[in-house]
Amino acid sequence: MFKYWLVLGLLFSGAQILCAQDSVSYANELRKAKDEMGAMLRGERPDFIRAGKILEPLVSVNPGDAEAWYYFGYAIDEYNMGSSEEMLNASLQLAMRASDAFQNCIELSEGNYKGSRLLFDPHTKILTIWGNQALRYFNKGNKDSAYWCLNQAAIRGGINQSVLGYFRQVMQECGQNAYLFTNGDMYVYYLAYLQTVQKFRPDINCVDLNFLQTSWAVPLYKKMDVISDSMALAMQQGGRNLVNDSAIVLNENLDAIGGESIIRWKVQKPSSMAKADMAFLNLLQKNQFRKDVFIAADVPSNMRLGLNVDNYLQLRGLTFKMVTDTSSSNLNFLESRLSRLNPIPVDDSSFRNNPDNIQVLNNYRFAYTAAAVMSSAKGDLKLALDLIDLSLRKYPEITLPFYAIQTKDWFYSLKSQAEKGEPLKW
């Protein structure tokens, strides 16, 4: 049911009411609001109250405008969330109104919003709105309300089944009671949905590397039993615990997992390590390989403290596993893991309605290209080409589009190198 009358109620005091017949004024006002909100794309903070005052009368006078609802929902949500330090204080009432605005946008777009976008699609915004509310309730120790919020994300259109299958496979690659380090809202809230609502792999300790930059993340993870009291204390310690710009981690699980008793590697830009980097490193040093450590494969290299497949990361498909032996990469094992990755169901096209979904699902394809680059580095150029060809057969473009033209060009350039028998490079 269309919900514009539920969203309105003059949230933004001082909003000016427009005449329904004044199309020129309407277009001008919408452009002003979009320009104000567009500051987000320039790395600036918009005046969300100003944007809201412009947009509220627009959706009132023309409730059939999906784009106006999209920007109105964004203005409400960003005003409600505040900064990353303040996000756990977001109001449930405003969250519901922002969610209703995005639902109106989706309904008016028949499920496929085509208007201009800011950072996320309206489906993803519904996920993040309700996911953030779930974190707020986890922080209060109210697991039932957190469950309800995550379920609302699914009911209202924020969860896609193909994408949910992807995140399920990410978790399936992790060992029992492992740490799983991720980056980005879709990881945080899809994994929370799987663990909380579907009770899938609740043993895994999921940690978002972006959140570690905030003051509330470590206490929240302690309340959620993701980390122990002693681990929380270690993560909050100051200092970088480096020796000559190298990180050192002891292997206290040598009898069970073998490898080296002490591992060390050069940390990228040690002089500019952020708070999140220090917390991550402190966890690794406190853990000492007692629990397996996995990192989502799409976590940017600059967030991995210099860990990569050339030192102590082993590619597992959609994740890296931190290992104690630099020679532990096994292409036969990796091929076996890749064969287990889900194809995209040919009868499921709903994920295409959200570009954010397409970007996530492209990680299936990139798991094969990463394996191809590794094969090339080990001198097996035939296997490298076979893996790229297999990715095209398993994830054809007609089923899984590339999310950006630059990504498509890069992929086919890599394929061309493989066909010529040239060594592959990222």
For the packed helices 122-139 and 92-108, what is the interaxial angle rounded to 10 degrees? 160
Q: Which of 236, 234, 184, 233 is nearest to 206 (CA)?
A: 184
Residue 325: pLDDT band (50, 70, 90) is: confident
Instruction: Compare 257 and 170 and report the one with higher pLDDT.
Output: 170
Classify strands 293-296 and 262-266 as parallel, antiparallel or unpaired: unpaired
Helix (H, G, I), strand (E, B) or coil at 128: helix
Residue 17 has pLDDT above 60, yes or no: no
C-alpha radius of gyration, the chain, whole number: 23
This prediction's pTM: 0.93
Taking the CA atoms of residue 39, residue 41, residue 45 and residue 51 in that order, the dihedral angle to the nearest 10 degrees is: 50
Cβ 159 vs Cβ 303: under 8 Å: no
Q: What is the DSSP string of 311-358?
A: TTEEE-SSEEEE-S-TT---HHHHHHHHHTSPPPPTT--GGGG-HHHH
Confidence check: pLDDT of 56 > 80: yes
Is pLDDT above 50 for 6?
no
Residue 238 has pLDDT above 80, yes or no: no
List, in order of start, the domains of the chain with CATH numbers.
4-155 (1.25.40), 161-329 (no CATH), 342-419 (no CATH)
Q: Residue 141 region, left (φ>0) first, then alpha (ψ -120 to 50), else beta?
A: left
Distance CA(320)–CA(304), nearest Å, equals 11
* Confidence band of 240 (pLDDT split at 50, 70, 90): low
Percent of the chain with pLDDT over 70: 94
Q: What's the rounded mean pLDDT across residues 250-270?
A: 88
Report which DSSP code applies to 265: E
Identify which of 379, 373, 378, 374 has the alpha carbon closest to the alpha carbon of residue 417: 373
Query: What does the angle CA 39 – CA 43 – CA 47 come to, to the nearest 5 degrees?
Result: 40
Choose among 183, 274, 174, 206: nearest CA to 282: 274
Residue pair 296/182 in contact (Cβ under 8 Å)? The answer is yes
What lies within 8 Å, CB to CB, of 22 at 6+ separation is: none
Q: Which amino acid is at 386?
A: D
Helix/strand/coil percent split, the chain, to 5: 55, 5, 40
pLDDT at residue 268, as a whole number: 78
pLDDT-based confidence at 415, cuts 50/70/90?
A: very high
Nearest-10 crossing angle of helices 185-196, 143-155? 110
| Rounded distance between C-alpha atoms, residue 13 and residue 204, angstroms | 45
Residue 15 has pLDDT above 70, yes or no: no
Cα distances (angstroms) measured from residue 337 to each of 5, 175, 205, 387: 50, 14, 22, 13
Which one-letter amino acid corresponds to residue 186?
M
Q: Report the pLDDT value the prediction gives residue 51, as an integer from 0 to 100.
A: 97
pLDDT number for residue 2: 52
Name the band, by pLDDT with cuts 50, 70 and 90, for residue 244.
confident
Q: Give yes or no for residue 50 having a pLDDT over 50.
A: yes
pLDDT at 77 over 90: yes
Q: What is the rounded CA–CA span in Å between residue 136 and residue 223?
A: 12
Q: Six-digit token pair at 21?
A: 């017949």
In this prediction, residues 379-385 reach a mean pLDDT of 94
Distance, CA of 213 to chain centre: 16
DSSP codes joined into one string, 159-202:
--HHHHHHHHHHHHTSPTT-EEEE-SHHHHHHHHHHHHTS---T
Give the tens place of pLDDT for each residue, 271-294: 778 999 999 999 999 999 999 999
Residue 94's nearest CA partner among 84, 105, 81, 108 is: 81
Write down the pLDDT at residue 14.
Answer: 53
Question: pLDDT higher for 5 or 322?
Answer: 322
